[in-house]
Amino acid sequence: MRLKIRFLYLLITLIYPVLFLSCGIEEYFYLPQVNQININRILNDTAEITIVHPGSEFNSYFRNYAIYYKIYVSEYDNISTIDPLGKVTESFSAEYNNDYNAILRYADPSNLTSSTGIDQLFLGRNYYTLNFEGKNNNSMMPPGNTLRIIFPTSGEKPYATILDGSAEEVPLMRSISDLTLINLIPDQFFFNTDELRENKGNADVARNENAEEISIGEYTYVSMYIVSVGFNVSTITNFLSKPTFINLFKMF
């Protein structure tokens, strides 16, 4: 009898760990939010982002950083104040306000919300990944450097440059990786044109309520958020950290 009890005890100690590991409990993958102190906004035409590695404890699944954007059409020529989270004093765009409020519960670092589903949040709000002409995210946002984004007022292409002494200016491009944005009108660059504002096929552009009566005097702005990107080995998919507001750039 005593031998049988010992055998049952041994059997349970061997089987229990297997049952525990196979009960469906998934490992939770997490990346820290980019700190607001690492972003320096200069009016609505420039932003500097200090790229910091999230930490050695995330090495196994941290991949890179990504920037998500959306274009808004507005009657406002100038936006007077923007707080660090993206709030604008004027109601320059009803859709921007809706998007801001939806993203705020994740972007506000004081909110203890989960970081799961950020990719679906952006997709549902028609925010798309920013591209760099001829470059990838790893080369443009390497940890230990500072990325400067500039929307020139002189009519030149908006561009990004790494403050590493190279002085290379890399044009910014609207998303070319999302299937819904294969046909971007008039092109992939960030210019305030009639074609961009008026075309209903541009999924990355929030057109105003009077879209049928748009005049050349209307204005466009680009909202941008940065996230860190990781790879979930359990689901074989990428996942995003909570977003951090970069700036609301004015297009020319």
Cα 60 to chain centroid, rounded: 21
For the chain, give every domain's residue range. 29-250
77-103 average pLDDT score: 83
Per residue in 140-160, pLDDT (tens digit) is 999 999 999 999 988 899 999
* Distance in angstroms (rounded) separating the CA atoms of residues 223 and 235: 30
Burial class (CB in 10 A: 0-12, 13-18, 19+), 185: middle
Measured from the Cβ of residue 163, the count of other Cβ atoms closer than 10 Å reads: 12
Q: Is the pLDDT of residue 100 over 80?
A: yes
Q: What is the pLDDT of residue 214?
A: 45
- Which is more confidently placed, 40 or 209? 40
Per residue in 115-140, pLDDT (tens digit) is 778 989 998 999 999 999 999 888 89
Q: What is the pLDDT of residue 183?
A: 67
Alpha carbon distances (Å) from 181 to 175, 177, 227: 7, 8, 21
Q: What is the pLDDT of residue 116?
A: 79
Where does the pLDDT of residue 178 fall: very low under 50, low under 70, confident under 90, or very high at 90 and above? low
Q: Is the pLDDT of residue 23 over 60?
A: no
**Which residues, listed in sequence order, are joined to residue 250 by a DSSP beta bridge?**
221
Q: What is the pLDDT of residue 20?
A: 38
Per residue in 192-216, pLDDT (tens digit) is 988 888 877 788 888 665 545 544 3
* Distance in angstroms (rounded) separating the CA atoms of residues 170 and 164: 14
* Distance in angstroms (rounded) separating the CA atoms of residues 85 and 79: 15
Q: Is the pLDDT of residue 163 over 70?
A: yes
| The model's pTM | 0.84
15-40 average pLDDT score: 67
Measured from the Cβ of residue 129, the count of other Cβ atoms closer than 10 Å reads: 18
Measured from the Cβ of residue 177, the count of other Cβ atoms closer than 10 Å reads: 9
Q: What is the pLDDT of residue 28?
A: 67
Least confident of 37-51, 87-101, 176-190: 176-190
Q: What is the pLDDT of residue 149?
A: 97
